[in-house]
Amino acid sequence: MYEVIIGLEVHVELSTDSKIWCGCSTDFGAEANTQVCPVCLGLPGTLPVLNEKALEYAVKAGLALGCEIAHFTKFDRKNYFYPDLPKAYQISQYDLPLCRNGAVEFEVNGETRRVRIARVHLEEEAGKTVHSGDNIMGSEYSLVDYNRGGIPLIEIVTEPDIRSPEEARLFMEKLRTILLYTGVSDCKMQEGSLRCDANISLRPFGEAKLGERTEVKNLNSFRALQRALEYEVRRQSALLDAGEPVERDTRHWNEQQGVTISMRSKEDAQDYRYFPDPDLVPVTLTAEQIETWRSELPELPDQKAARFMEQFGLPKYDAQVLTASKEVAAFFEATVERFGEPKTVSNWVMGEILRLIKEMEIDIEQEPIPISPEGLAELLALVSKGTISNNVGKEVLETMFKTGKSAAEIVKEQGLEQISDTGELEALVDQVIAENPGPVEDVKSGKEKAIGFLVGQVMKASRGKANPQRVNEILRQRLLGS
């Protein structure tokens, strides 16, 4: 058994309309090489000019992660040769990153964990290489698409504070939630606008020195991140158990085979020959500018969760589930505004609504939740007035999701009103008493439990619409005289 040490380098594409050094569009999915110009193609004689929106978004991301923002920062060239990098260097930041010393808190098994953010820096995306085969190994040729080249990117680097593959996934989920709240990125992992490289090492428990690490590149789903790290834990443990060293290398995650494969030995900073980019002036930021951007940030997930607990008296668990998505949080709050009873609303949203969203595979970041807060409030009012039972309410909700009809319409169309009318209920009870002499005798001779059976029979006879509490009362009156 070893202690697992993980640090992540997360890349996030910023949702600016245009690229970081030129006016080209950043839209995803256009025909290859149609969103390019001499600047982002790195042609000689062109000069980059910083997109101010990219700077603003990077600062806002840093602030949302609790970072200090630099008042003076510059861009550096990171030199390496790869076909998707037309200038043969990437403009990035080396020794003076825009943001430093932040932290992200998240829950692991009901315990709060804190992962420090070492730095957030601003850089440019490379283009995209498209291989003719499934991967580079079996390909006859590769094509390059430069549409992505020059999209603004931030790199978020954590300290090696993560202690398990599951924790790495939970950290990423929380990071994504925070970034989505700020609106600086759409964080679509399947489109690559959020992805990460994971550094991982093992050490004997109690050992102070960090072990040798490997880096797994380009993990583009939460599942891939956790699985790749679980594989690395197994692989490195086996090496250490056998008394063999872990080699420092860069590895590729093969999703099909469920293994990481060594791509190359790790390069050092000096291999990149970093130096300041002479084409870009350093950036200076005033305290005033930074504070203006801070004031433009929305309420963030942790703040919202704290407010939900305070204002609505919700348990911490509820507050966290509801605020994990800003769409769900807004839906919850709007429903409470109309209906009140925050805990009731929370139960319905966390239970039924999240279940239906998942079952129907609705992407609530892209499409609206199929019912409105008014619609849910109306349904809850019908349940609380006793017009329909709780269980019928759940069925009505599902029908609302699938048909878009209102709760009242569905209840009327399907005749789902709960029967509370005493005359009608008494008739049903008498019928059930006549048909079940055995259980009736049991009740009369003191076996109270048999009442539950009779209530069930009445519910069945009413096709679920009888008010169970009233049925219970009438049965007791009839059989026990109380």
Looking at 15, 32, 37, 237, which residue binds Zn ion (CB under 5 A)?
A: 37
392 binds Zn ion (CB under 5 A): no
Q: Shortest approach of ligand ADP to residue 69 CB, angstroms?
A: 20
Written as six digits, the tokens of 444 are 């009369």
Quick one: which segment of 3-11, 306-314, 329-337, 419-427 binds ligand ADP (CB under 6 A)? 3-11
Nearest position to ligand ADP, beta carbon: 7
Q: Which of ligand ADP, Zn ion, none binds 40 (CB below 5-8 Å, type-dependent)?
A: Zn ion
7 binds ligand ADP (CB under 6 A): yes
Count of residues touching ligand ADP (by CB under 6 A): 16
Within 257-276, the residues that bind ligand ADP by CB under 6 A are 269
9 binds ligand ADP (CB under 6 A): yes
Q: Which of 35, 44, 40, 128 is nearest to 82 (CA)?
A: 128
- The phi-psi region of residue 249 (left if phi > 0; otherwise alpha if psi is between -120 and 50; otherwise beta) is beta
Q: Which of ligand ADP, Zn ion, none binds 408 (CB below 5-8 Å, type-dependent)?
A: none
97 binds ligand ADP (CB under 6 A): no
SS3 of the chain: the string is CEEEEEEEEEEEECCCCECCCCCCECCCCCCCCCCCCCCCCCCCCCCCCCCHHHHHHHHHHHHHCCCEECCEECCEEEECCCCCCCCCEEEECCCCCCEEEEEEEEEECCEEEEEEEEEEEEEECCCEEEECCCCCCCCCCEEEECCCCCCEEEEEEECCCECCHHHHHHHHHHHHHHHHHHCCCCCCHHHCCEEEEEEEEEEECCCCCCCCCEEEEEECCHHHHHHHHHHHHHHHHHHHHCCCCCCCEEEEEECCCCEEEEEEECCCHHHHCCEECCCCCCEECCHHHHHHHHHCCCCCHHHHHHHHHHHHCCCHHHHHHHHCCHHHHHHHHHHHHHHCCHHHHHHHHHHHHHHHHHHCCCCCCCCCCCCCHHHHHHHHHHHHCCCCCHHHHHHHHHHHHHHCCCHHHHHHHCCCCCECCHHHHHHHHHHHHHHCHHHHHHHHCCCCCHHHHHHHHHHHHCCCCECHHHHHHHHHHHHHCC
Q: Which of Zn ion, ligand ADP, none binds 5 (CB below 5-8 Å, type-dependent)?
A: ligand ADP
- Considering the complex, state which of residue 8 and residue 300 has its C-beta at the smaller distance from ligand ADP: 8
22 binds Zn ion (CB under 5 A): yes
Q: Which of ligand ADP, Zn ion, none binds 378 (CB below 5-8 Å, type-dependent)?
A: none
Written as six digits, the tokens of 468 are 């169970």
- Considering the complex, state which of residue 160 and residue 192 has its C-beta at the smaller distance from ligand ADP: 160
Quick one: which segment of 24-32, 174-182, 327-335, 350-358 binds Zn ion (CB under 5 A)? 24-32
126 binds Zn ion (CB under 5 A): no
Quick one: which segment of 40-48, 208-216, 281-289, 311-319 binds ligand ADP (CB under 6 A)? 208-216
Q: Shortest approach of ligand ADP to residue 269 CB, angstroms?
A: 6
Looking at 67, 99, 126, 157, which residue binds ligand ADP (CB under 6 A)?
A: 157
Quick one: which segment of 30-38, 259-267, 343-351, 368-376 binds Zn ion (CB under 5 A)? 30-38
CA distance 211 to 201: 5
- First CA to last CA distance, the chain: 65
Looking at 147, 158, 389, 462, which residue binds ligand ADP (CB under 6 A)?
A: 158
Q: Which of Zn ion, ligand ADP, none binds 22 (CB below 5-8 Å, type-dependent)?
A: Zn ion
- Considering the complex, state which of residue 2 and residue 28 has its C-beta at the smaller distance from ligand ADP: 2
- Considering the complex, state which of residue 193 and residue 201 has its C-beta at the smaller distance from ligand ADP: 201
User: Would you give the binding string for ligand ADP spanning residues 163-202, x where CB under 6 A is met?
Assistant: ------------------------------------xxx-
Strand 194-204, strand 2-13: pairing: antiparallel
Looking at 3, 56, 159, 378, which residue binds ligand ADP (CB under 6 A)?
A: 159
3 binds ligand ADP (CB under 6 A): no
- Considering the complex, state which of residue 43 and residue 269 has its C-beta at the smaller distance from ligand ADP: 269
Residue ranges that bind ligand ADP, judged by CB under 6 A: 5-9, 157-160, 199-201, 210-211, 213, 269
Judged by the rule CB under 5 A, the positions of this chain that interact with Zn ion are: 22, 24, 37, 39-40
